[in-house]
Amino acid sequence: MTSADLTGDSSTGAKLLNTARDVIPGGVNSATRLVGAPYVLTDASGAYVTDADGRRYLDYHAAFGAILLGHHAPEVDDAVRRAVGDGIDLAGWGVTEPEIELARLVVETIPSAEQMISAMSGSEAVAQAVRLARAITDRPLILKFQGGFHGWQDAVARNVISAPDRAYGRDPLSRGILEDAIESTVIAEFNDLDSVRELYERHPERIAAVILEPIPHNVGALVPEAAFLAGLRAITSEQGSLLIFDEVITGFRHALGGYQQVSGVRPDLTTFGKAMGNGYPIAGLAGPRTLMERFSSAGGDVLLAGTFNGNPVSSSAAIATITYLREHPDFYERTHALGDRIRTGLGAITEELGIPAVAAGFGGVFALYFTEGPIRGYRDLLRDNDEAYVAFHRRMTDRGFLMLPLALKRNHISAAHTEDDIDRTLEAARDVLRGIRDDGLLG
């Protein structure tokens, strides 16, 4: 049964999805949510979610990584209750104290930040970063990497999980994007500085910025080589471009100061979101004062607008999350250790079963590629067995371990996961992987 075919499924979740289709296109508000059972989630607590039919799942999807501390972390929920019950709900006038406190925390936390602006989603934060970069450099082009995802806005909505015949070429994510927008973004290969230099040679003094996920988690987990990030910093500085780290996924998850803290490389601009509010809608953009004060709020010529920007409720959630992480540095020790535990375990199991696979990831994020290593960039991922990848996630979900059954999607460990959770996951994974092998899905 596919996600679009619920014929004969009398479950409560299937009925609710069919009802939703009458009033929501396809029944869901994001296409990546239409992936089969469970069709409807109704409850969440800690590391677990429950569906409309009462089945409980250990959650490795975590809302694409937004759930950092676990579902309904009391520190965050208590802060939101206070924000809703006291003070102002939505101002749209001046500034509120939570906005100020959040900006102070971000500036103290992210190494490259001197000022920040708030947004409601990572896509908005990236849109602001791209516009700011073009204004500052007076250049039209943006350089991104094949496999990197930076939201739905036109400037970057291309070349993510591309088929082999479309990778590195013209591969927009949607119809309706202006041709000029598609042509204004150029595509390089991750961990390949020569591909970056080649584009600068082809487009001299026209590239405004290089934008990348420091770890491209939207295709699992391509870990950057140290020389690569340092090389990007050198090239962009030499060429008069900005370097933008999209830390919407890596930010606050891998280290308090994001992956830039881990790598020691300082970008010009940083976008962040998702995990900052432990699931509440908030994102941001930070950078040095000289760049950030080009926004119209500081008298500059780059528009800054949005009634929900800096709203007190989401800001309070982010303050609580960042404060928790500052006061509990063991969070990173635990999630990194659990990530190592599951990656090591998956690697041992696939070797034991004779399955060609690479257990990849960093910190509390893991992915199991069905191909031989090494894996440095997207070209290596073109060898991945997508059928086996999706089957692994589908069968793990059917056993009660929620993993998004789409090719190259990663999994997340939160503060609420335990060693016992990891060990039970590995036990289930051994049976699932043996079944995938025995069913002939490995080719």
**Count of structural domains, the chain:** 2
* Together in a domain, 262 and 337: no
pLDDT at 96: 94
Average pLDDT for 14-24: 96
* Average pLDDT in the chain: 96
* Together in a domain, 306 and 339: no
396 to each of 140, 265, 358, how far by Cα in Å? 45, 37, 17
Q: Are 273 and 149 in contact (CB under 8 A)?
A: no
**Res. 88 pLDDT band, cuts 50 70 90:** confident
What CATH number did the domain enclosing 345 receive? Answer: 3.90.1150.10
* Together in a domain, 108 and 203: yes
Q: CA-CA distance, 357 to 342, in Å (whole number)?
A: 14
pLDDT at 1: 41
* Together in a domain, 291 and 419: no
Average pLDDT for 180-188: 96
Position 24 in a domain: no
330 pLDDT above the threshold of 80: yes
Tell me which of 267, 296, 327 is where a domain ends: 327
Q: CA-CA distance, 67 to 277, in Å (whole number)?
A: 8
pLDDT at 60: 98
* Together in a domain, 264 and 320: yes
pLDDT at 8: 76
* Together in a domain, 277 and 130: yes
pLDDT at 9: 86
Position 16 in a domain: no
Tell me which of 294, 327, 360 is where a domain ends: 327
Which residue is associated with the tokens 């994510």?
A: 173
Position 281 in a domain: yes
* Together in a domain, 151 and 193: yes
Position 2 in a domain: no
* Together in a domain, 261 and 298: yes
- Domain span including residue 267: 74-327
pLDDT at 443: 79
Tell me which of 289, 307, 327 is where a domain ends: 327
* Together in a domain, 236 and 358: no
111 pLDDT above the threshold of 70: yes
**Res. 156 pLDDT band, cuts 50 70 90:** very high
* Together in a domain, 299 and 422: no
Q: CA-CA distance, 188 to 208, in Å (whole number)?
A: 15
**Res. 128 pLDDT band, cuts 50 70 90:** very high
Position 132 in a domain: yes
Q: Which two tokens stand for residue 183?
A: 């042509």
Position 193 in a domain: yes
pLDDT at 4: 53
pLDDT in tens, 48-68: 999 999 999 999 999 999 999
Average pLDDT for 111-138: 97
Position 103 in a domain: yes
Which of 6-10, 86-90, 299-303 shows the lowest mean pLDDT across its residues?
6-10
Average pLDDT for 14-36: 95
Does 6 or 240 have the greater pLDDT score?
Answer: 240
* Together in a domain, 230 and 140: yes
Q: Which two tokens stand for residue 369?
A: 């590629």
What CATH number did the domain enclosing 130 receive? Answer: 3.40.640.10
* Together in a domain, 161 and 188: yes
